[in-house]
Structure formats: structure tokens, C-alpha cells
Amino acid sequence: MIPSLLKIVCSGIPVLLLGISFQQDRFAVAREQMVNQQIEARGISHRGVLAAMRKVERHHFVPEAYRQLAYADQPLPIGYGQTISQPYIVAYMTELIQPRPHYNVLEIGTGSGYQAAVLAEITAWVYTIEIVEELACQAEELLLNLGYKNIYVKAGDGYSGWKEHAPFDAIVVTAAADSIPKPLVEQLKEGGIMVIPVGGEHQIQTLKVVEKKNGKVIILNVAPVRFVPFIHKE
């Protein structure tokens, strides 16, 4: 009895490990396909962005129930009525800020923490603000567990930015605002770029690139998009 029980207990471990590594391999294949077919094939060419999209394990950032869809070409629910953005949108917004290794970046809308992780692979510092406290806590814990030491998460309304760490080389807003928040423009460095979706929940939203150049603010419309609303109480 005892030897056979031992046999089951002991042989269970390698089977379990084999199962986990099989999953990991499947995720690695899916991730590579995601970058090839959804990101590179659609024109993203920034080397840092492509490397980060290949490296960050998106399946950790989606709820268990959606894990098999982690590398699919779509946004996914993360609870509290919020979503993790479609992989292509994450890559596209990251490329738009032209990230460089020394960059100090602010993100508004931490959500799952995935966009923050992608940014942190490329840039020196990432400050990210999330209005849903539970999501901010979950993301902070996950990012720490994954070993990120250059990401700071704060729970609160990102409308006013994060003055203590400003100015920022780049700002990425991942919720659709009615208009461009003034404090965020103020916290952008000279030469800095902000990407922000603008438009109401049921309207066509426009992804805008805001650039501060020679003291002037230049705004470009780059693509129609669909984001969850930017929550702000006056």
C-alpha cells in the first residue's frame, strides 16, 4: 500500500511539472504568433516595442477564465467593468511615444498592469495610476511578483497626473477622456509626447498624439479607437 501510494505521489510531481511546461510552451508559441501576425504584420517596427511584446507574458495579466485567449486579437475583461487592451493597441500606443531607455513615463489607467509592464521593459521609470483601488492593488502585486522594480502604482484619479515625478518624457492614457486633461499637458516635458483616446463612451473616439514643441502644444488625430471611459468627477 505504502510503496504504491508513494509511487503515485512521487510520479505526480513530474507529470504536473510537465503539464506546466507544456502550457508555458503553448503560451510562448501563441505569443510569438501574436507578435508576428498582429503586431509586426500591421506595421509596428520599433525594436524595443517588438522585443517587449515578445517578452511580457500577457497570460499573467488576464483572469484565469480568459487565459486561453490571452494572445488573441482582442481586448479582454479584467473585472470591475474594465478591460485589458487588444495587444496591437498596446504596441501601437507604445510605438507612438517613441520610447527610449532613459524615459520617465506616466500611464493613466493601470488596469491589469500589462501596458505598464510593456513600457517598463523599454524605459527607465513607469508611474501608473488606476482609479479602481482593487485593480491598482492587484496590478501592483503582480508586477512585483514578476520582478519589476521600475514601476510605481498609485490608486486614484489620474486627471491631475503625478506631480512629484513630473515632468514626463511621455504620457500614455488608456481610458477615453472627454477632453485632454490640462494637468497632464503641463506635466509633459518639452519635446515630450502624450497619447490619449478622446471621445464619449458611445461616440467614435479618436486616438490623439499631443506633442510639446518649442513651448507649443501640437495635437494630431491618429486613429479611431474604442476605450473604456476616463472617470473624472469635477
Residue positions annotated with a catalytic role: 85
Q: What letter represents residue 170's amino acid? A: A
Torsion of CA 128, 129, 133, 134, to 10 degrees: -30
Taking a C-beta distance cutoff of 8 angstroms, is the pair 127, 103 a contact?
no
Among the residue ranges 2-10, 65-73, 124-132, 202-210, the one whose residues contact ligand SAH (CB under 6 A): 124-132
When asked if residue 82 is in the footprint of ligand SAH (CB under 6 A), the reply is: yes
Smallest distance, ligand SAH to C-beta of residue 18, A: 31
The one among 171, 175, 207, 225 contacting ligand SAH by CB under 6 A: 175
Q: Which residues pair with 151 in a beta bridge?
A: 126
Residue type, 227: F
Query: CB–CB of 95/44 below 8 Å?
Result: yes
Verify binding: residue 138, ligand SAH, rule CB under 6 A: no
User: Which of 99, 109, 192, 197 lies at the binding interface for ligand SAH (CB under 6 A)?
Assistant: 109
Rank residues 27 and 230 by Cβ distance to ligand SAH and give the closer one.
230
CB atoms under 10 Å from CB of 1, counted, come to: 5
Write the binding mask 41 to 80 for ligand SAH: x where contact by CB under 6 A, - elsewhere.
----------------------------------------
Q: What is 50-84 written as a DSSP string?
A: HHHHHHS-GGGGS-GGGGGGTTSSS-EEEETTEEE
Binding site for ligand SAH (CB under 6 A): 82-85, 108-109, 111-112, 114-115, 129-132, 135, 157-159, 174-175, 228, 230-232
